[in-house]
Amino acid sequence: MAGLYIHIPFCHSKCSYCDFFSTPKTDSLTNYISGLEREWDLRKSEIDEPISTIYIGGGTPSIIKPDMLARLIKHIKPTSLEEMTIEANPEDVTPQWVEAMAYIGFDRISMGVQSFDDEQLAIIGRRHTGQQALTAARLINSAGMKFNLDLIYGLPGQDTNSWKQNLDIALEIMPGHLSAYLLSYERGTRLWAMRESGKLTEADDDTVFKMYDILMSATRSCGYRHYEISNFAQPGHEAIHNTNYWLGIPYIGLGVSAHSFDGKQRRINPISINRYIDSLSHDETIFEIDEEDDTDRLNDMIITRLRTDTGLSITEIRDRFGETVAETLLKASKPLLESGKLLQPSPDMIAIPESEYLRSDAIMRELIFVH
């Protein structure tokens, strides 16, 4: 199996925390869709396995007219899909849009709500209101499609009470899948500049850890499985496409700034819409190769597997990288196991306990291999 990611870089406006490549200018949208179709034609033979998942992200894919999306999917001609996901913003979700997505073949919608609090939404530059988000979420859920809802915690002005209120609203809807991310201040974003100039204050560590405890407790009580650091699912609603990333399954990334992985090599498409469209008009693809050696691939496996509740298989490490590497990893794991920063679900597996997920970066640094 393999995955297909399609990046739509167009947005209504730029959120203050976003450091992904996106633009509010949609004048090149039609040519961009044609470019995606041409890129697929040029690259679909890169991976021998059939495409089992498609994920359209961005940006804001829900601003694209349904007939244009239908054209793109028809051109790709998927035949063995287990899951097809599209990201959406609440202000774009209408009964007609949801019906159109189902007709095209999407069986999963991932909606970026981030908060149901209007003041918090204004600070991070979101266009929708809390009520719009609530209405859109209920609409998708009532349509019977698989549904992910994104929230952010640690927002400026957010305390543990307001975070709990956001969670209560989200869990009353009971989406099959919930993603909750700690707000990240990325250099070059408006949010970064606002923090640096003193216009807002970042949430302190004590508050963040309390918010995470509230998140774990609330989702657990509603029957969600905390299957990855930031992701929670009702049984059978885990995101197949994203899970395949963590398992190292190959995927093709189409579009500006999209990443691809063929099982050995990673490549990155250009971060320029004009360059992207121009190259494809000449039947060329341009990209950068992210050179990786066995040590890089080993570290990728350690980092991605330890993000999940399943954890990392020592047998798989031994089979792929040899006995010496496996023994070195076990030796490095021993003090972490003794201190409770790692656990051993079975003799073959090591995993990070749920209570230590927010400290996972520090734990992983003790395990990764240095060149």
CA distance 98 to 304: 33
Tell me, what's the pLDDT at 289?
87
What does 76-93 look like in DSSP terms, one character per residue? H---S-SEEEEEE-GGG-
Tell me, what's the pLDDT at 283?
86
> Helices then strands (H, E): number in the chain?
14, 14
CA distance 302 to 318: 13
Please state the rounded mean pLDDT for residues 358-371.
93
Quote the Cα angle for 147-266-251, to 5°.
35
CA distance 144 to 102: 10
Please state the rounded mean pLDDT for residues 138-147.
91
- Domains of the chain in sequence order: 2-245 (3.80.30.20), 294-365 (1.10.10)
SS3 category, 22: coil
The model's confidence at residue 19, banded by pLDDT at 50, 70 and 90, is: low
Please state the rounded mean pLDDT for residues 248-265.
94
Token code pair at residue 239: 């995101």
How does pLDDT run across 277-307, given as a tens digit for each residue?
A: 999 988 888 888 888 899 999 999 999 999 9
How does pLDDT run across 325-359, given as a tens digit for each residue?
A: 999 999 999 999 999 999 999 889 999 999 999 99
pLDDT of 223 strictly over 90: yes
CB 155 within 8 A of CB 211: no
Percent of the chain having pLDDT more than 90? 75
Please state the rounded mean pLDDT for residues 66-79.
95
Please state the rounded mean pLDDT for residues 20-31.
80
Please state the rounded mean pLDDT for residues 143-154.
94
pLDDT of 25 strictly over 80: no
pLDDT of 17 strictly over 80: no
Q: Which residue bears the tokens 């909606």?
A: 111
Q: Which contiguous run of DSSP H or E holds residue 171?
A: helix 160-173
CA distance 81 to 146: 15
Please state the rounded mean pLDDT for residues 141-145.
89
How does pLDDT run across 200-215, given as a tens digit for each residue?
A: 888 899 999 999 999 9
Residue 261 carries which side chain, given as an amino acid letter? F
pLDDT of 369 strictly over 80: yes
Tell me, what's the pLDDT at 204?
92
pLDDT of 26 strictly over 80: no
CA distance 65 to 86: 13
Q: For residues 338 and 190, which has the higher predicted lDDT (pLDDT)?
A: 338
Q: Which of 13-17, 67-71, 129-133 has the lowest mean pLDDT?
A: 13-17
Q: Which residue bears the tokens 């990070």?
A: 352
CB 212 within 8 A of CB 362: no
What does 241-290 look like in DSSP terms, one character per residue? HHHHHHTT--EEEESTT-EEE-SS-EEE--S-HHHHHHHHHTT----EEE
Q: Residue 69, class by beta-carbon neighbours within 10 Å (0-12 exposed, 13-18 middle, 19+ buried)?
A: buried
Q: In angstroms, how far is the first alpha carbon of the chain from the final one? A: 31
pLDDT of 14 strictly over 70: no
Please state the rounded mean pLDDT for residues 132-152.
94
Q: Residue 188, class by beta-carbon neighbours within 10 Å (0-12 exposed, 13-18 middle, 19+ buried)?
A: exposed
CB 352 within 8 A of CB 306: yes
Please state the rounded mean pLDDT for residues 42-49.
92
Contacts of 138 (CB under 8 A, 6+ apart): 173
What does the mean pLDDT of the chain come to? 93
Q: How many CA atoms lie within 13 A of 122 on its CB side?
A: 4
CB 36 within 8 A of CB 69: no
